[in-house]
Amino acid sequence: MIEPYVSKVIIVDQRFLEDVGQASRTDLAEFTNPGMDTKVISLPLSSNDDMLALTRIIDASAIRPGSIVVKPGYTDHFVPVDTFAKELVHRKYGLFVQLCIALGAKKVAVTNIEEVDIEADDKSSTSATLGVNAPVASGDAEFKSAASNSSNDSSKSITRVATEAGGGAADLGLAAKLLDQYGLHGDSLFTGIYNLRAVGNNNVTKHELSLDFSNDVRRIVDSSIQAKIKVMSKLYGGQADFERVRKSIEHIKHATRLSILVEF
């Protein structure tokens, strides 16, 4: 029902499509024919089989009009857009640790965490144990405070993660399987450390690198999704579930950058 290359799913109902069509045929055409990475699903679905197929990759609680779910990467499962950043960080870092262990690492640890401004391509280093002190508009203060606390909690959990193993020779075969399984051959972070350990005559003992999620976030929060949100606001605006989605997208201004130390 959902093609493998789709990373964003927008769920609406038939009434919404009818109202949009009556207001503007152009808006309806643009909304129902998004880019290849986006799919619009209208409820109710035509069959129980379609619903069953959908619940295999989207939690049933997220299948409701006004919902936007996205694929955080390295999985076939979709998550609500307001939680995808946290899911992405933990999932990608976890895969990187798996690869390092397969390559014979003794220790993998996060040494620093920064928040990167995805709009200005600037970075502002933020302590994982401190709150964000940027001024906020009064109308959105409560939402931003909750989002900030969630981000900081995620940061704290990541910086507490340190994986240690016995170390040993790199299992290049197992590492290559991981790259294949999760489609990581196009990610220089993963292929870079694989290639370093593939050099047999001069083994790397320590490697420091950055794991930056800016491009992953930009891939989801693009101009197309912003345009869809604007159209959806005409009907779903004011509904609690949709407002949470809208505000979460509007306030995604930063992405996480992890500094990582790998010892072999």
Q: Using H for helix, E for strand and C for coil, what is the string for 66-131?
A: CEEEECCCCCCCEEECCCHHHHHHHHHHHHHHHHHHHCCCCEEEEEEEEEEECCCCEEEECCCCCC
Q: What is the mean pLDDT of residues 177-196?
A: 93
Q: Among candidates 54, 56, 75, 48, which has minimal Cα distance to 11?
A: 54
Length of the chain: 264
Identify any residues that bridge with 260 across adjacent strands, giving them in sequence order: 110, 209
- Between 55 and 121, residue with greater pLDDT: 55
pLDDT band at 161 (very low <50, low <70, confident <90, very high): low
For residue 59, pLDDT over 90 is answered with yes
- Cis peptide, bond prior to residue 135, ω within 30 of zero: no
pLDDT band at 75 (very low <50, low <70, confident <90, very high): confident
Helix %, strand %, coil % of the chain (to 5): 45, 20, 35
Retrieve residue 236's tokens: 């779903």
pLDDT band at 253 (very low <50, low <70, confident <90, very high): confident
250: region left, alpha or beta (phi > 0 left; psi from -120 to 50 alpha): alpha
Q: Among candidates 158, 264, 165, 262, which has minimal Cα distance to 208?
A: 262
Identify any residues that bridge with 162 across adjacent strands, giving them in sequence order: 109
For residue 119, pLDDT over 90 is answered with no
- Between 215 and 142, residue with greater pLDDT: 215
CA atoms of 143 and 126, how far apart (whole Å)? 19
CA atoms of 192 and 185, how far apart (whole Å)? 10
Q: Among candidates 35, 146, 32, which has minimal Cα distance to 83?
A: 146
What is the pLDDT at residue 123?
Answer: 45
Q: Which helix (H) or strand (E) segment is 195 a member of?
A: helix 188-198
Residue type, 66: G
In order of 42, 91, 108, 192, 201, the CA distances from 196 in angstroms are 48, 23, 16, 6, 11
What is the pLDDT at residue 100?
Answer: 96
Residue type, 208: E
CA atoms of 241 and 64, how far apart (whole Å)? 9
